[in-house]
Amino acid sequence: MIGRRQAVAEAAKPPVAVRGSPLEGVHLAFSHRLLRVIFKLVGEGRPYPEHGLTNREWAQIPPRQIRLDSLITTKAVLDLHSLLAKDSTFYGDLFPHVVRWRGEFYLEDGLHRALRAALHQRTVLHARILEHPEDGD
């Protein structure tokens, strides 16, 4: 049996990452919920063939909801100055661009918007989703 002081000290510790995760054993200062919310994978580059859509053609695709945890990013690095800037979501398309290829959803453009949604503890995002013509499914 543990004493009251020890119980209070244990409760005050930040949570530890889930066993088997890349962060196993690391004390986390944020909610366990956030671990489940972000992205399916963090990728680098676009694995799918070039689709050739212009911004005008992207604008013709109606936005729809997609879960953040089903997205694979195509950028592994982002600029925090851009993320935290007040006008970071002012320029460009209002909706992120997602490409569905071989059953996976790749976040082609809009990483900063997706991260802002995650920071606000949202689990879904409105995005324009292109069904790649060379899907292969």
pLDDT for residue 17: 44
3-class DSSP state for residue 70?
helix
- The hierarchical CATH code for the domain 36-131 is 3.90.1530.10
How many Cβ atoms are within 10 Å of 66's Cβ, its own excluded? Answer: 20
Q: With CA atoms as reference, report the closest residue to 69 among 16, 31, 107.
A: 107
- Residue 15 pLDDT level (bands cut at 50, 70, 90): very low
76 and 43 Cβ atoms separated by less than 8 Å: yes
Question: Distance between CA 37 and CA 137 in Å, rounded?
Answer: 27
Q: Is the pLDDT of residue 71 over 70?
A: yes
Q: How does pLDDT run across 32-65, given as a tens digit for each residue? A: 454 455 899 888 899 999 999 998 999 999 999 9
- Residue 27 pLDDT level (bands cut at 50, 70, 90): very low
Q: Is the pTM of this model over 0.75?
A: no
Q: Is 73 exposed, middle or buried (0-12, 13-18, 19+ CB in 10 A)?
A: buried
Q: How does pLDDT run across 117-132, given as a tens digit for each residue? A: 988 889 999 999 999 9
Q: How does pLDDT run across 96-109, given as a tens digit for each residue? A: 999 999 999 999 99
The CATH 3.90.1530.10 portion of the chain extends over: 36-131
